[in-house]
A and B are shown apart, each in its own frame.
Chain A
Amino acid sequence: MSDALHTQSAHALRERVAKGETSAVEIARAALDTIHTRDAAVGAFLHVDGEGALAQAAQVDRARAAGEALGPLAGVPIAMKDNLCVRGIPATCASKILEGWIAPYDATVVERLRAAGAVIVGKTNMDEFAMGSSNETSAYKLVHNPWDLSRAPGGSSGGSAASVAAGMAPLSLGSDTGGSVRQPAAFCGLVALKPTYGRVSRYGLIAFASSLDQIGPFARDVRDCAIVSEVISGRDPRDATSVDTVETLAGTYTRELERDVKGLRVGVVRASLAEGCEPGVVLAIERSIDTLRSLGCEIVDVTLPTAEHAVSAYYIVAPAECSSNLARFDGMRFGPRVESASLEETYGKTRALFGKEVRRRIMLGTYVLSAGYYDAFYAQAQKARTLISRDYAAAFERCDVVLTPTAPSVAFGLGAKTKNPLEMYLADIFTLPPSLAGLPAISVPCGLSEGLPVGLQLTAKAFDEATLFRVASAFERATDHHTHRASMFAAGGAA
């Protein structure tokens, strides 16, 4: 069943639609059927929008029949993380505090995807408000890693990753604050990009930590990731932090895909392969370095001396911002309200609808911003950020991309790290430094360890996503890691 619709890449599906081989409605039906048969076991979706998906697909078919130009994602199903607003359907952030809330507007990325002909199939499960690295803080249900249902898919965009890995959609969007698309991509054997801060509009992304949040896509190959990245990127007048880059985006990523990488300098952070990394991960990374060398890359050693403070800095900055960003969830204008005797009590009890991890981070963030602690914590963390950026600037004097593992381990078991928050926080040790510096980073599959995927993270200079796609694509062409799939992927399901 290798040509079953749900196993096809986004660019292959678009091709079929363009040629009239398959209708967008057929493709949408196949995706919805696959979700229907598989998601009970995976738990990737919080809301499936069958009606909306079929309507969008029908519109694509009509446009094709009318001879209109088709967008780059015409008829391609895509799943959206539940912290992205899609007009008329729920957005819960996997939290009880947004239970029943229907977004009254479209996020900018959603508008762009619709304009490109993409078909939104539903909203994916996540860590509550994107706070977590295993998807276990969802207030609704667990997500099971399609490679091994007893394991975590990673987080916080676990549902988005699992949906693509399980064949329920060829593409999905997640959000990445400290690694939330890269780490689940690594755990689920996918390609995912965290764009440069400012590259993709955050309008309509329910904020976790505004200075770090970026929306990023999941795909099963580099080309698909490049195509969807081009669609969602670019300046948006509704986001004051979105950046006006001179180049027009169409084609700037995809044209890199066929280029070779001879002479490109790859900086390896040796320290990342020492302590704390599983041997299987280290092995896969070492082999990847060899592959890149064999492709003509120059391998150099670089160091990021301040990176060891990244976890601490992140767990000050992100909670501080979240404590403020989540203040609007107070039951006054939207969402559930726990009516109580007084205004103060109503606030307190309503906001107690936040789950444990979210409450913990709000508390931590409120504390580090409060009078008397600001300088010791928040200001110090922001200064550490400056030093981390300087580390990268120094590294990029010597190389074009920085290479590390995406995560120190392969997917861990569900429940394995929920006891101690600190242990969970360390799962992000490699993805945090690029986030704090605002840099683009991509995770690509680079082999298996214990039968589970390992992810390779490449980081580039700000706004140099093109080089990431160039290296990732050359690596993909030279290896077959991206062809490995979760066992449930091809089996059964809808044709």
Chain B
Amino acid sequence: MSERISLDEVRKVAKLARLSLSEEELERMRGDLDGILDWMTALSKLDTNGVEPTFHAVEMAAALRDDVVVDGLRRSEALRAAARSDQGGFAVPKVKEGE
């Protein structure tokens, strides 16, 4: 049976999605995705020539808001939820500078 998705592709997708998966999980995931994608091939046979995609099922225009300042979250409350914080900032693992 031909593969719809290779282990390398699965690895690449996991990296894109920032999910660290063990080799065993990657294998299993490949199998799952392969099955799902195989089953989805029927959809590719649906004739959609000249059909516009639906991004919003109900036709609407974005409702906008006025440019008026509204109270937000208190810093203490926001930082309380963080794994770590320091000097009023959310502390995160070192980020390469200049990016």
Interface residues of A (CB under 8 A from B): 101-102, 104-105, 196-198, 211-212, 235, 237, 240-244, 306, 308-309, 312-313, 315-316, 323, 327, 330-337, 339-340, 342-349, 351-352, 354, 359-360, 362-364, 366-367, 370, 376-377, 379-387, 389, 421-422, 436-439, 462
Contact = CB atoms under 8 A, between A and B. Distances in A.
Which has the most chain B C-beta neighbours within 10 Å: A211, A340, A366? A366
A382 B54 contact: yes
A362 B54 contact: no
Given A312-B43, A382-B53, A387-B48, A330 B58 contact: no
B69 interface: no
A343 B77 CA distance: 24
A384 B46 contact: yes
Given A360-B29, A367-B5, A386-B52, A104 B18 contact: no
A331 B81 CA distance: 10
B42 A312 contact: yes
Give 6 nearest A-B pairs by CB, closest first: A438-B57, A348-B20, A382-B53, A337-B83, A383-B48, A334-B81
Given A343-B93, A352-B19, A382-B55, 5 more contacts: A101-B81, A241-B56, A332-B83, A337-B84, A343-B94
Contact of B43 (A198, A211, A237, A381): A381
13 contacts: A104-B73, A240-B62, A316-B40, A327-B18, A346-B92, A359-B19, A364-B36, A366-B17, A379-B53, A387-B48, A389-B57, A422-B39, A462-B58
B21 A359 contact: yes
A362 B48 contact: no
Given A242-B63, A421-B36, A366 B16 contact: yes
Contact of A380 (B21, B44, B60, B78): B44
Which has the most chain B C-beta neighbours within 10 Å: A101, A364, A384? A364
A363 B93 contact: no
Interface in B21-78: 21, 29, 32-33, 35-36, 39-40, 42-44, 46, 48, 51-58, 60, 62-65, 73, 77-78
A283 B63 CA distance: 46
A384 B29 contact: no
Nearest to A435: B57
Contact of A351 (B18, B36, B42): B18
Chain B contact patch, size range? 35 or more
Which has the most chain B C-beta neighbours within 10 Å: A241, A330, A363? A363
A313 B54 CA distance: 11
Nearest to B9: A367
Give chain A's interface secondary structure class.
Answer: helix
B96 to A, nearest CB: 8
Given A306-B46, A421-B32, A244 B63 contact: yes
A351 B35 CA distance: 24
Nearest to A362: B17
A266 B16 CA distance: 47
Given A331-B83, A351-B18, A352-B21, A380 B55 contact: no
Nearest to B93: A343
Nearest to A198: B58
Nearest to A243: B60
Contact of B51 (A212, A315, A386): A386
B40 A312 contact: yes
A183 B4 CA distance: 31
A318 to B, nearest CB: 12
Nearest to A341: B93
Contact of A237 (B51, B56, B58, B65): B65
Contacts of B78: 104, 333
Contacts of B19: 348, 351-352, 354, 359, 362-363
Contacts of B16: 366, 370
Which has the most chain A C-beta neighbours within 10 Å: B16, B19, B51? B19
B78 to A, nearest CB: 7
Nearest to B90: A333
B7 to A, nearest CB: 13
Contacts of B9: 367
A384 B43 contact: yes
B18 A348 contact: yes
Which has the most chain A C-beta neighbours within 10 Å: B35, B83, B94? B83
Contact of B17 (A241, A306, A323, A383): A323
B68 to A, nearest CB: 11
Nearest to B82: A333
Given A244-B63, A370-B13, A389-B54, A377 B33 contact: no
A421 B36 CA distance: 8
Nearest to B14: A363
Nearest to B26: A363
Contact of A309 (B42, B60, B90, B95): B42
A474 to B, nearest CB: 27
A367 B63 contact: no
Given A198-B60, A243-B60, A387-B51, A330 B18 contact: yes
